Amino acid sequence: MITLREESFGALERYASVPSTYETDRIFDVDEQGGSWELRERRLERPYRKDYDAVESPHAWPLRFDVTGWTLIGAFDGQERVGGAVAAFATPGLDMLAGRRDLVVLWDLRVLLTARRIGVGSALFRAIEAWAVAKQCRELRVETQNTNLAACRFYASQGCRLFEVNRNAYAGLPEEVQLLWSKAL
């Protein structure tokens, strides 16, 4: 049975022990259609691999931002950590929050490869939603990329809608398109 519990940022080392990686043989091409976007799946010749922690380790978050308004929720199967989620709230300098106090950003969501597709991610997403509602937030936002089909499908299944596309958001990663998702709370 999966249990969730809110943790302090002192648990960040243990949180980071769950890898934030994926491999895919498909990506989404993004087409603009009269003010909205269409995601079209395309098969790749070679698999695409990404390790989010190699781009920015969770250990860097408290060095970059004041995380006193953030939450860290761990997911456990017995004593084994199988996932977690981090959400940001009321953080000066965090552009995705747009200076708003009624907005929360799902900063990170990770699930062990062996624990995927059994509801861990959905439980974590719902826990972040509940935390945000308790903070009187009216909107949740999350960022992912066109290369992460599983994440795009997951956020859509949680009721998020694609509201912004940035084709040149990632210097040095021209194949990646930033996709910003939003959910009204």
Per-residue model confidence as pLDDT tens digits over 136-175: 999 999 999 999 999 999 999 999 999 999 999 998 888 8
CB distance 39 to 162 below 8 Å: yes
In this predicted structure, what is the pLDDT of residue 11? 96
Q: How far apart are CA 140 and CA 61, in angstroms?
A: 19
Q: How far apart are CA 172 and CA 34, in angstroms?
A: 29
In this predicted structure, what is the pLDDT of residue 174? 86
pLDDT 10s digits, 38-55: 999 999 999 999 999 999
Beta bridge partners, 76, equal: 3, 81
CB distance 75 to 83 below 8 Å: yes
Q: What percent of the chain has pLDDT over 70?
A: 100
pTM across the whole model: 0.95
CB distance 18 to 84 below 8 Å: yes
Q: What percent of the chain has pLDDT over 90?
A: 94
CATH 1.10.10.10 fits 2-24+47-140, yes or no: no
133 membership: H or E segment, kind and range: helix 120-134
Average pLDDT, the chain: 96
Query: What residue type is 165 in one-letter code?
Result: V
Average pLDDT estimate for 5-15: 96
In this predicted structure, what is the pLDDT of residue 36? 87
Domain edges within the chain: 2-24+47-140
The token duo for 7 is 């943790």
pLDDT 10s digits, 51-87: 999 999 999 999 999 999 999 999 999 999 999 999 9
